[in-house]
């Protein structure tokens, strides 16, 4: 399939000389696409350029063949956007909020709008709480309302910036499943520093590091790169401290006076360490970033649920 979003040679330099993006080339097609990177990697800058909110210093971005600078108004009509912090009128009901936003997006016919609002609420799992006031919603429901407002005008591209911030593990799982379902019919561009946000519905991703795309491929390909770099080792509890400079520890578990440690190699092989099986995407991401001089404390990762 032809790509919907095409970025070529995108570079952005902020006042003061900070280089946020440096020669970014990217093609994104239908499905859930993950834009992954630590805070400060340049993700938000790239998202703002794609969404026509920021003009790049150089390079170009086209969405469905339209230039995001020259054809800004037309491009905006293709997008649905869920910002990191979404809020709505707290005293209105879920249905009222979505109906108002649908009218503002251009859907003027009341009957057609009512049908559209009902269909969207059903698709995001909010139909049963349509008459509930926004202030009564859980964090997860509020995020789903944010998705609903982004979908109400039937966009070709859905853009999400750090969508699960503040959600509990159960709500995060529900949100990932929703994204997997919605990604079957449209482009979903999901920017996050939380690896688990991508979920099983993501088949393509780009890893942004210091303004450059350092990896582009499938989650499985990123995991394959970590082979031999993620290890397990069993040591005495007192000897664990000696591993600090050799292994970036991901998990530790005490067992009969011993400590089972799992992590990413930092400085070559460690005696007694064995290659770990079933490497997770989080571990693969950490292994990749460790190879670029970043460590767990810098990446603000969470474990998958």
| pLDDT tens by residue, 106-136 | 788 888 888 889 888 888 888 888 899 988 8
| Number of domains forming the structure of the chain | 2
Domain check: are 142 and 38 in the same one? yes
**Are the CB atoms for 251 and 261 separated by under 8 Å?**
yes
**Helix, strand, coil abundance in the chain, percent, nearest 5:** 35, 30, 35
pLDDT of residue 39: 80
Domain boundary among 161, 194, 217: 217
- Predicted pLDDT of residue 165: 67
Domain stops at, among 161, 192, 217: 217
Say yes or no: 182 and 248 in one domain: no
- Cα dihedral 34, 38, 42, 44, rounded to 10, equals 60
Condensed to tens digits (0 to 9), the pLDDT of residues 52-75 reads 999 999 999 999 999 999 999 999
Domain termination site, one of 157, 182, 217 = 217
pLDDT at 43 over 80: yes
Q: Is residue 36 part of a domain?
A: yes
Angle at 54 between CA 53 and CA 55, to 5 degrees: 130
Could you tell me the residue range of the domain that residue 272 belongs to?
A: 224-299
Looking at the structure, tell me whether residues 258 and 210 fall in a common domain. no
pTM for this predicted structure: 0.80
Same domain, 258 and 110: no
pLDDT of res. 303: 39
Q: How does 273-282 read in b/e, with b if 16+ C-beta sit within 10 Å?
A: beebeebbbb
| Tens-digit pLDDT profile for residues 259-301 | 899 999 988 888 889 999 889 988 999 998 888 776 555 555 4
Asked if pLDDT for residue 214 goes beyond 50, the answer is yes
């Amino acid at each position: 399939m032809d790509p919907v979003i095409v970025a070529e040679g995108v570079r952005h330099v902020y006042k003061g000389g900070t280089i946020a993006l440096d020669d970014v080339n990217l093609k994104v097609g239908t499905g859930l696409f993950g834009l992954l990177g630590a805070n400060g990697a340049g993700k938000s800058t790239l998202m703002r350029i794609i969404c026509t909110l920021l003009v790049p210093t150089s390079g170009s971005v086209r969405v469905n063949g339209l230039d995001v600078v020259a054809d800004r108004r037309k491009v905006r009509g293709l997008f649905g956007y869920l910002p990191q912090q979404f809020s709505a009128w707290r005293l209105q009901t879920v249905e009222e909020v979505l109906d108002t936003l649908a009218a503002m997006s251009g859907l003027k016919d009341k009957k057609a709008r009512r049908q559209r609002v009902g269909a969207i609420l059903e698709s995001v799992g909010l139909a049963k709480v349509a008459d509930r006031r926004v202030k009564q919603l859980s964090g997860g429901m509020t995020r789903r309302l944010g998705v609903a407002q982004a979908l109400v005008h039937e966009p070709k591209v859905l853009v999400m910036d750090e969508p699960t911030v503040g959600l509990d593990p159960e709500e995060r799982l529900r949100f990932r499943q929703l994204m997997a379902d919605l990604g079957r019919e449209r482009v979903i561009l999901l920017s996050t520093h939380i690896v688990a946000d991508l979920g099983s519905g993501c088949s393509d991703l780009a890893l942004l590091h210091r303004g450059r795309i350092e990896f582009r491929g499938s989650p499985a390909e990123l995991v394959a790169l970590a082979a031999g770099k993620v290890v397990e080792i069993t040591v005495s509890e007192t000897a664990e401290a000696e591993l600090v400079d050799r292994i970036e520890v991901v998990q530790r578990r005490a067992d009969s006076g011993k400590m089972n440690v799992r992590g990413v190699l930092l400085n070559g092989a460690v005696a007694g360490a064995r290659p770990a099986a079933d490497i997770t995407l989080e571990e693969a991401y950490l292994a990749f970033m460790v190879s670029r001089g970043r460590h767990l404390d810098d990446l603000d990762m969470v474990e998958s649920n």
